[in-house]
Amino acid sequence: MKKTENINGTSLRGSVSATFQQLIDAFGVPSCWGCDQTTDVEWHVVFDDLVVATIYNWKNGKSYLGSEGLPMCEIKTWNVGGFTDHAIINVKEKLQ
């Protein structure tokens, strides 16, 4: 597994329950911090089987909600995007 920038065209494939630290332990440091107004942090990964996945929070952090948004350490549900449903399968397997 490695980081990738080839994420254009990925779409939501599901969600996973994990802590911010569990994601760092599994996928390393995020690829993007303060990514846009809806997402605070994202991981962009490509697995050994060439499946691309994005893992990100959506509209629940400080980027979207300001002071009312959750800090990273309190976010427990993360969206997973990809080109195929194999993205969510691979992310769940990596988190086990």
> How much is the pLDDT for 43?
96
Domain count, the chain: 1
Full domain range(s) for residue 41 = 2-95
For residues 9-45, b (16+ Cβ closer than 10 Å) or e, as one string? ebeebeebebebeebeebbeebbbeebeeebbbbbbb
Question: What's the average model confidence in pLDDT over 58-70?
Answer: 95
Q: What are 2's strand-pairing partners?
A: 46
Encoded amino acid at 42, one letter = E
pLDDT of residue 41: 96
Residues 56-71 have a mean pLDDT of: 95
pLDDT tens per residue across span 3-44: 767 788 999 999 999 999 999 999 999 999 988 889 999 999
Residue with the two structure tokens 């691309």:
52
In the predicted model, what is the mean pLDDT of the chain?
Answer: 94
Whether residue 85 has pLDDT greater than 80: yes
Q: What is the pLDDT of residue 59?
A: 96
